[in-house]
Chain A
Amino acid sequence: MSYKNQFSSVYVNELKEHTAMSLVKTFCSGERKPSQYLEQLFEHIERINPELNAITSLQKEYALLRAKELEAKKPEAHQMLYGVPIVIKENIQKVDFPVECASKMLKGYRGQFNATVIESLENAGAIIIGSANMDEFAMGSANEHSSHGVVRNPHDPKRVSGGSSGGSSVACAAGFAPITLGSDTGGSVREPAAFCGIYGFKPTYGRVSRYGLVAFGSSLDQISPFARSVEDLDLVLKVIAHEDPLDSTSLRGCYESQIEKYTLKGKKIGVIRSLLKAGLDDNVLQEFQSLEENLKKYGVEFVDIEIPSLEHTLSVYYVIACAEASSNLSRYDGIRFGHRAEGTEDLNDLYSKSRSEGFGAEVKRRIMLGTFALSAGYYDAFYGRALAVRDMMAKEFASVFEKLDFIYMPTAPTSAFKFGENSHDPLKEYLYDVFTIPANLTGIPAISVPTKVGMGCLPVGVQFMAAKGRDAELIAFASALEKTKLIGTTALV
């Protein structure tokens, strides 16, 4: 673990100093200036990032200018993220930032408008310092499918970061920013959070506006934050989780924190034992069970439950996500922007060559799958049935939540694996999402929290889910859990 030393000696003496909460405090009190902090932070990023490859575009000039702008005025009460540096996944639109989605197709493409989350963050005084690597168009579980190259795990650079929001996850875990944004379509925030030893939270579908998020599977996508503490997650949700007239699927109202008043005692949590039988690595199972045992001591009650439709998780997900993706990615046709093939004969040739050259193998695979699933004569057998099972799953979850507060599950079946271990077998890679996908299919909120692993061990994440719309309760529960010190980030430790 040579990395641990590199981090702690130069930049991070006390991790707590670098949370968004503490940064806002020191910036607002005038103890430190955001621009001074940024100078120091950029040094750290420029030293560490070349090997990890998490940030693909560090916008130093812009960020410093923005810091000076902020410093010119007194912090205002609504600026809850005053001076806080934030990294965004490369699929979120910010004016003039690269929005390449790690694809040759969008090489050189820059944001033309601000995503709603960007507007919200900047109104709250945050400084977007750069954009992060990802799997091409958010398709992947290991960040191995990127035109920018792989992202390395700070805990062991021979291992993957997880995906598809690998860059954002590593940026947070390596201390490049206290809060980073990813997008979670089937676990793309929770799985890399688990691999990197940090928190990743997927809100209820519609709780955070998708306006400005490059679509993969529209009915599943959700912009989701990473942080190294639950308090920071709570803080950023207060800023970004609200209604948006520009996103017709956005939910009314906004996130209202319940972090202040929360106890673990008496909470009822469901566990689906049948899911734990196969495919789990020992270290994951051990961490899972030990947290369960420890939580019982705090008065948390565990109940065995079954959700029969979960056996169809992967097939339902890959039909729906790919079908939507096949349509969402039609706009990359070489006509208005993005890659256009040279020397084409006619319009069809232009479409076909531009798309063949621009998209990577995994993206093509999913476009083909989705196109097939929607084809005349196959719709009912694939897409129609997948929607029906999805409905059934949502009902099963809803009925389970009538008697429970949360559901407890591993986040991923293993810890971060080595490069190439799964990438040549798509099915094997898809299996990594089996625990995270149900929350996307049913639209419920879910959080991956890092367990307290021993020295030199790889991080392990476990997952808690709540009923639709109960985001604040889930965050409050995770916060109470963090306070028991049974869990906690392993970033930079």
Chain B
Amino acid sequence: MSENNLTSYPNVLEIMKKYDVVIGIEVHCQLATKSKMFSHAKNAYGDSPNSNIDPTCLGLPGALPTINEECVNLAIRMGLALKSEIQPVSVFARKNYFYPDLPKGYQITQYDKPICLGGELILPNGKKINIERVQIEEDAGKNIHVGATSLVDYNRSGVGLIEIVSAPDMTSPEEASDYLRKLHSYVVNLDISDGDLERGNFRADANVSIMPKDSKVFGQRCEIKNVNSFKYLEKAIAYEIERQYEVIEAGGKIHMETRGYDSEKNITVGQRSKESAKDYRYFPEPDLPPLIVSLERIEKVKKLMPELPESKAARFTEKYSLPEYDAKVITASRINSSYFESLVTSLLGKVEPKNISNYFMTDVMRASKLFAEAKGISLDELLEVPVSLENSISLLSLQASGTISGRIAKEIFEEMISTGKSPVEIVKEKNLVQISDDTSIAKICEQVILDNPEQLSQYLSGKEKLFGFFVGQTMKISGGKLNPAKVNEMLKKLLDSKK
């Protein structure tokens, strides 16, 4: 968050002096299971249209849904991570509406009895956001429009989703995007979802309203639908706050409606009014008995639960003696923490974890940032670290064994990420092997001392600070290839002998 600690959007900051902003977020998150939620068809992205289908997810007459227990386990896992109460009995319901991508004419979801109730998520600034519910449901297919023709692909139809509904506890665009980032890091770290935003596997709807500071009644809210980037969510909310403010200040009224976000124009656009919204005629799904979750099952899920970022950070500080700051930064992202841990394990006994952390947090994370920028996505949306693990291991090993110096390592890193060549190749090609033998080092040091008689006499007359100058010159002449420790040692010896 910015220096004013409220928001970095100046207009919103102005509005916040007069109005309270109220934001609640619903996230739909696709479950990373092998098969779909209510059918045995495969759950896979990118296969040819209508290849992962069966009678159930096509809604053929006579087909019936069955529950994918793995999806239920993932929902329980989400609930546990959010400190929700896992309900011993929850009920599936039908949400009825007509649309070509919805083959049964209803979506199986949960309504008045979801699997998880309550819970919380703590934002990086320490604020607690309450969770209202987590529910299980199924995804719809996809309509594809080709000219005047519309086609439907049912590969996604029936894939498991969880919907996570927050309380209207967020009060600024930044809090909303922080919430979304945190939740995303949870689902990815916990193997609940691949969290792929681009494919819509993690999509957010934000309910936004504003109310005068002294008011006790919430303002009318608008729902911004299906925003699939953290930054866009923030911007869409900021825009929506300004829009609502202008309407209200001009004496107008906010109507409850669904709005879409146009990222190119950075505006939200009204889609349909909620007053005329469909009546979904929810009722309990008669094809599925109530979902019973035993305490034993919850315990089992708990035992198999992957580490949350918080506990991982604690483990990193303890086990690898990392500073808390390093541990927090590295564990914020699943791909970073696992990359880091692979490095630590591969270089066990050779390189100190703190040194690996230094390398990771400066070189690798900078490379990630540049890579993301080049792709036009945010850092959280990266699916893998853009530096190969083998190259990093090789580079750190070369440095640890003294084959190359730290300075050369930096040079090789740049070369490595721009060309993709391995450090060993680069070292060979450019003849960058560190010189550590005393004779060669002594020769160069002698030369440097000889070439700088002025500095030598000053040094000898007591200006010991000039020692650094000699080191610098030596390294410069050698192109950084000399072993710095040895250079230090040698210069000291040679200079002292002249005293």
Contact = CB atoms under 8 A, between A and B. Distances in A.
A335 B62 contact: no
Contacts of A455: none
Given A245-B66, A248-B67, A336-B58, A219 B286 contact: yes
B98 interface: yes
Interface stretch (A145-153, A325-333, A472-480): A325-333
B64 A248 contact: yes
A333 B65 CA distance: 20
Contact of B283 (A91, A212, A323): A323
B140 to A, nearest CB: 13
Nearest to A379: B283
Interface centre among B63, B96, B106 (most CB of A within 10 A): B63
Interface string B97-120: 010100111100000000000000
Interface string A202-223: 0000000011111101110000
A213 to B, nearest CB: 6
A45 interface: no
Contact of B281 (A212, A217, A337, A374): A374
Nearest to B60: A112
Q: How large is the interface on A (under 10, 10 to 19, 20 to 34, 35 or more residues)?
A: 35 or more
Given A249-B287, A374-B96, A213 B62 contact: yes
Contact of A347 (B100, B279, B289): B100
B288 A248 contact: yes
B64 A330 contact: no
Contacts of B98: 330, 333, 351
A171 B281 CA distance: 39
Contacts, number: 98
B61 interface: yes
Contacts of B104: 330-331
Contacts of A232: none
Closest 7 A-B residue pairs measured CB to CB?
Answer: A330-B105, A218-B286, A374-B281, A219-B286, A214-B61, A93-B62, A212-B62
B323 interface: no
Interface string B48-76: 00000001001111111111000000000
A246 interface: yes
B62 A215 contact: yes
A28 interface: no
B328 interface: no
A113 B106 contact: no
B66 A99 contact: no
B89 to A, nearest CB: 15
Q: Is the interface of B mostly helix, strand, loop or mixed?
A: loop
B157 to A, nearest CB: 11
Interface string A16-54: 000000000000000000000000000000000000000
Interface string A282-307: 00000000000000000000000000
B281 A371 contact: yes
Contacts of A327: 94, 96, 105-106, 281, 283
A217 to B, nearest CB: 8
A375 interface: yes
Contacts of B288: 248-249
A376 B111 CA distance: 14
Contacts of B58: 336
Contacts of A376: 279, 281
B152 interface: yes
A135 interface: no
A291 B236 CA distance: 77
Interface in B320-357: none
Contacts of B106: 327, 330
A379 B94 CA distance: 14
A324 interface: yes
Nearest to A348: B98
Contacts of B64: 210-211, 246-248
Contacts of A351: 98
Contact of B66 (A112, A115, A215, A248): A248
B281 A375 contact: yes
Contacts of B289: 248-249
A99 B61 CA distance: 9
19 contacts: A91-B61, A101-B61, A106-B61, A112-B55, A113-B55, A218-B286, A218-B287, A246-B64, A247-B64, A248-B287, A248-B289, A249-B289, A327-B94, A327-B96, A329-B105, A336-B59, A336-B152, A375-B281, A379-B282
Nearest to B154: A336
Q: How large is the interface on B (under 10, 10 to 19, 20 to 34, 35 or more residues)?
A: 20 to 34
Nearest to A351: B98
A92 interface: yes
A331 B103 contact: yes
B62 A92 contact: yes
Given A327-B106, A383-B283, A246 B61 contact: no
Contacts of A379: 281-283
A351 B99 CA distance: 9
Interface of B: 55, 58-67, 94, 96, 98, 100, 103-106, 152, 279, 281-283, 286-289
Contacts of B281: 326-327, 371, 374-376, 379
Contacts of B152: 335-336
A327 B66 CA distance: 18
Contacts of A109: 61
B287 A331 contact: no
B62 A336 contact: no
B62 A115 contact: yes
A93 B63 CA distance: 9
Nearest to B285: A218
Given A337-B60, A379-B283, 7 more contacts: A210-B64, A245-B66, A246-B66, A249-B287, A327-B105, A336-B59, A379-B281
Contacts of B94: 327
Contacts of A374: 96, 281-283
Contacts of A91: 61-62
Contacts of B279: 375-376
A437 to B, nearest CB: 16
Interface string A224-255: 00000000000000000000011111000000
Nearest to A112: B60
A374 B93 CA distance: 12
A213 B59 CA distance: 13
Contacts of B67: 248
A113 B98 CA distance: 25
A374 to B, nearest CB: 4
Nearest to A324: B286
Given A248-B65, A248-B67, A331 B59 contact: yes
A188 to B, nearest CB: 16
Interface in A105-121: 106, 109, 112-113, 115
Contacts of A324: 283, 286
A211 B62 contact: yes
Nearest to B100: A335
Nearest to B96: A327
Contacts of B62: 91-93, 99, 113, 115, 211-215
A323 B288 CA distance: 16
Contacts of A99: 61-62
A101 B338 CA distance: 56
Contacts of A246: 64, 66
B132 to A, nearest CB: 21
A115 B63 CA distance: 9
A336 B104 CA distance: 10
Contacts of A113: 55, 60, 62-63
B55 A331 contact: no
A415 B74 CA distance: 56
A214 B60 CA distance: 9
A211 B100 CA distance: 24
